[in-house]
């Protein structure tokens, strides 16, 4: 296992160093941005379903992106995602694109989808619209959610989904047990504000996401929203007494995995970027880590809760 991790780390570092992209000149922009968490670990709505997974509806101007499709750990139909979409009045037919941050079970719809490199919105028939799907690696809808009109865009490079809405391009990292992992994040340019970065799990580290954004754009970073994977002093997915998220979320051996210093380094990087809005997903970060972010960012911090929109 140590040899494989060492090889994956070398491969990831080599790939990161090779991915140098030109600045995006005259980037588009949107007048407004709303991020509505549809799946995450916490909510203020008793009737909403929660789980340690991610799905966000990102509304950038008139363009709607579904980012990831949750976990559905119990293989339900309707899934927690579909139930919450109905609860909050989200119409699947009105979504313009699906953006998959990375190919892990809590973002694809379950362990079966991770093994097969598919994604599923529910464990039953879903009329998935013929919209473009953006993924860092090859992926396809599950047979239950299949639509032959969906165009799968597989690219490790930055991509424009719509004017003002960008995929930052994948940033690789080696993870213990999970292996070599490619993950991409969204960036939305809001008029008069700057870039809002929307992150799935943050396996690539928020420091590298910020660095990539600064490489591509001559724009301030206004907000950072989503998962950064800090299950320190507690995790959301336990196997018996074992905090499995802490083990698999690092490129170090498990006895030297994610720790308090990683949290503090991330906070300093966000402070250096001078972000005005910060919101940390609880699906892969502990209450302790969230408390550190709240203390650091004060009124700039917003809770990330299923059903509660973050509006910019």
103-138: pLDDT as tens digits: 999 999 999 999 999 999 999 999 888 899 999 999
CB-based contacts of 93: which residues, under 8 Å, 6+ apart? 127, 129
**CATH number, residue 137:** 3.60.15.10
Separation of CA 254 from chain center: 23
In a domain, 253, yes or no: yes
What one-character DSSP code corresponds to residue 43? B
Q: Are strands 140-141 and 165-167 parallel, antiparallel or unpaired?
A: unpaired
In a domain, 163, yes or no: yes
How many whole angstroms separate alpha carbon 100 and alpha carbon 185? 9
In a domain, 33, yes or no: yes
In a domain, 121, yes or no: yes
In a domain, 226, yes or no: yes
The residue range of the domain holding 259 is 2-16+29-311
In a domain, 24, yes or no: no
State the total domains in the chain: 1
In a domain, 21, yes or no: no
Least confident of 144-158, 249-263, 272-286, 291-305: 144-158
How many whole angstroms separate alpha carbon 245 and alpha carbon 183? 17
In a domain, 22, yes or no: no
pTM: 0.96
Once rounded to an integer, what is the mean pLDDT over residues 251-259? 88
């Amino acid at each position: 296992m140590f040899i494989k991790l060492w090889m994956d780390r070398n491969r990831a570092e080599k790939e990161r160093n090779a991915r140098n992209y030109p600045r995006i000149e005259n980037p588009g922009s949107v007048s407004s941005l709303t991020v509505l968490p549809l799946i995450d670990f916490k909510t203020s709505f008793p009737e909403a379903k929660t789980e340690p997974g991610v799905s966000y509806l990102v509304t950038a101007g008139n363009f709607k992106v579904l980012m990831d499709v949750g976990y559905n750990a119990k293989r339900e139909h309707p899934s927690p995602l579909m139930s919450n979409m109905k609860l909050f009045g989200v119409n699947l037919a009105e979504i313009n694109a699906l953006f998959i941050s990375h190919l892990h079970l809590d973002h694809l719809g379950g362990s079966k989808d991770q093994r097969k490199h598919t994604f599923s919105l529910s464990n039953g028939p879903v009329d998935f619209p013929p919209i473009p799907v953006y993924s860092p690696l090859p992926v396809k809808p599950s047979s239950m959610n299949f639509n032959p009109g969906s165009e799968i865009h597989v690219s490790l490079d930055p991509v424009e989904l719509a004017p003002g809405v960008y995929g930052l391009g994948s940033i690789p990292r080696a993870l213990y047990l999970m292996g070599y992992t490619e993950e991409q994040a969204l960036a939305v340019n809001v008029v008069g504000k700057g870039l809002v970065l929307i992150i799935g799990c943050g396996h690539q580290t928020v420091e590298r996401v910020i660095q990539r954004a600064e490489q591509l754009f001559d724009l301030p970073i206004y907000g950072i929203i989503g998962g950064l994977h800090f299950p320190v002093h507690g995790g959301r997915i336990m196997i018996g007494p074992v905090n499995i998220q802490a083990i698999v979320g690092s490129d170090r051996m498990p006895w030297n995995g994610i720790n308090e210093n990683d949290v503090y380094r991330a906070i300093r990087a966000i402070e250096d970027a001078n972000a005005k809005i910060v919101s940390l997903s609880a699906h892969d970060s502990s209450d302790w880590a969230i408390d550190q972010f709240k203390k650091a960012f004060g009124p700039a911090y917003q809770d990330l809760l299923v059903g509660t929109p973050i509006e910019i």
